[in-house]
Amino acid sequence: MAKPTITLLYDEVEDESQPDDADEPVYKQVAAVLEPRGYELRTLAAQPNIRELAAVLQNDTSDLIFNLCESLDGNDENANRVAAVLELLRKPFTGTGSFGMMLAQDKALAKKIYSFHGVRYPKFSIIHAGQVEWADDLQFPLFVKPSNTDSSVGIDDRSLVRNVKELMERISFIHELKAPALIEEFIEGREIFVGVLGNGNMTALPIIEWDFSAMEGGPTFATAEAKWDKSSKGYRAPERFPTDIPEQVVEKIKTAAIDACRALRILDYGRVDMRLRRNPEPDGEWEFFVIEANPNPYLDQRDLLPRAAERDGKDYPALLEHIIELALQRSLRSGPG
């Protein structure tokens, strides 16, 4: 049986802006894996001009678009527009559609949806342009970040605030980024991530923990610096598969991750970021909170989702082919787009 022809779609600006010491771009990693396995591939750089992008995509004759655009024109808020163009052109593509991407992008709205679906999250407030759009009864310490950005943009050591003065200063900083300020109760505990694969029948991958416990003077949460600056203390914090979490707690965490992805209409593959803590008394209860769910998470083969999939028995090639299969199955069930 002939394998499908595939176009690897990626953000032209994001690719051009990579530093000299950056790893191989993801679309090149994907191509290096799929070509030897008999896939006919082409690569397409998504240009910022939507009309030009739509015209090029309209003429694309591949069986499937592998959508690797986590941004457009270097702006992650525009990623949903790429999915929208693909939908309007009725092109089969991998990953979440424009609706799911918009739901996940608006972190305050996502929490309200979690509430309806019984997914636990930290209490929060949202402030934009001097107006309070939502306010739970909050207690310090608090965590303040933009409500509509990804990749930890706008998150640094000062995101964690412990008094009103620090809170007001941080809200002002977030507003300077032209974003609403999302204020959450900070969950003292552990940073964990759960990958999810599938659509109607979803499965959760092994939990990965970003372990900041031994980082003296470093962050206790995922800052932008910790994610991207290779010289930072946070970047050097180990990522591991924890073995001390009871199996029944692990299963509940995985169920919550699947519920979060379903609630936000995340398709094919996603990643849920969570905080985990254990109450201090002997044999205290384990508690976990969904921080955010990420559609189309980063597919660098050394990143979180591919590593979790490998732990679960799917190496990088198998993961990519599984994502392709999921997208094609959706296309066959519902028609193009």
| pLDDT tens sequence across 12-32 | 887 665 545 557 899 999 999
3-state SS record for the chain: CCCCCEEEEEEHHHHHCCCCCCCCCHHHHHHHHHHHHCCCEEEEEECCCHHHHHHHHHCCCCCEEEECCCCECCEHHHHHHHHHHHHHCCCCECCCCHHHHHHHHCHHHHHHHHHHHCCCCCCEEEEECCEEEEECCCCCCEEEEECCCCCCCCCCHHHEECCHHHHHHHHHHHHHCCCCEEEEECCCCEEEEEEEEECCCCEECCCEEECCCCCCCCCCCCCHHHHHCCCCCHHHCCEECCCCCCHHHHHHHHHHHHHHHHHCCCCEEEEEEEEEEECCCCCCCEEEEEEEEEECCCCCCCCHHHHHHHHCCCCHHHHHHHHHHHHHHHHHHHCCC
Out of 50, 75, 95, pick the residue that ends a domain: 95
Q: Work out the percent of the chain whose per-residue pLDDT is above 90.
A: 71
Q: Is residue 1 part of a domain?
A: no
**Do both 201 and 327 map to the same domain?**
yes
Q: Give the confidence band of 178 by pLDDT, cuts at 50, 70, 90.
A: confident
Q: Is residue 102 part of a domain?
A: no
The string of pLDDT tens digits covering residues 122-133 is 999 999 877 887
- Which is it for the CA torsion 208, 273, 248, 213, positive or negative? positive
Give the per-residue pLDDT at 35: 96
**Do both 207 and 169 map to the same domain?**
no
Give the per-residue pLDDT at 250: 98
Give the per-residue pLDDT at 22: 56
Out of 161, 185, 209, pick the residue that ends a domain: 185
Averaged pLDDT for residues 318-332: 95
**Do both 14 and 91 map to the same domain?**
yes
Question: Is the predicted pLDDT of residue 150 greater than 70, yes or no?
Answer: no
| CATH code for the domain of 292 | 3.30.470.20
**Do both 181 and 193 map to the same domain?**
no
Question: Is the predicted pLDDT of residue 153 greater than 90, yes or no?
Answer: no
Q: Give the confidence band of 337 by pLDDT, cuts at 50, 70, 90.
A: very low
Average pLDDT in the chain: 90
**Do both 78 and 196 map to the same domain?**
no
Averaged pLDDT for residues 148-174: 86
Closest CA to 323 of 236, 214, 195, 162: 195
Q: Is residue 74 part of a domain?
A: yes
Contact 99, 275 (CB under 8 A): no
What's the domain range around 29? 6-95
Give the per-residue pLDDT at 151: 59
Give the per-residue pLDDT at 306: 98
Question: Is the predicted pLDDT of residue 289 greater than 90, yes or no?
Answer: yes
Q: Is residue 246 part of a domain?
A: yes
Q: Which of 21-30, 70-79, 199-208 has the highest mean pLDDT?
A: 199-208
Give the per-residue pLDDT at 331: 84
**Do both 211 and 302 map to the same domain?**
yes
Checking phi first, is residue 164 left (phi over 0); if not, alpha (psi -120 to 50) or beta? alpha
Give the per-residue pLDDT at 62: 97
Q: Work out the percent of the chain whose per-residue pLDDT is above 70.
A: 90
| CATH code for the domain of 169 | 3.30.1490.20
Give the per-residue pLDDT at 18: 55
**Total structural domains within the chain:** 3
Give the per-residue pLDDT at 154: 74
**Do both 74 and 135 map to the same domain?**
no
Q: Is residue 112 part of a domain?
A: no
Q: What is the pTM of this model?
A: 0.92
**Do both 328 and 193 map to the same domain?**
yes
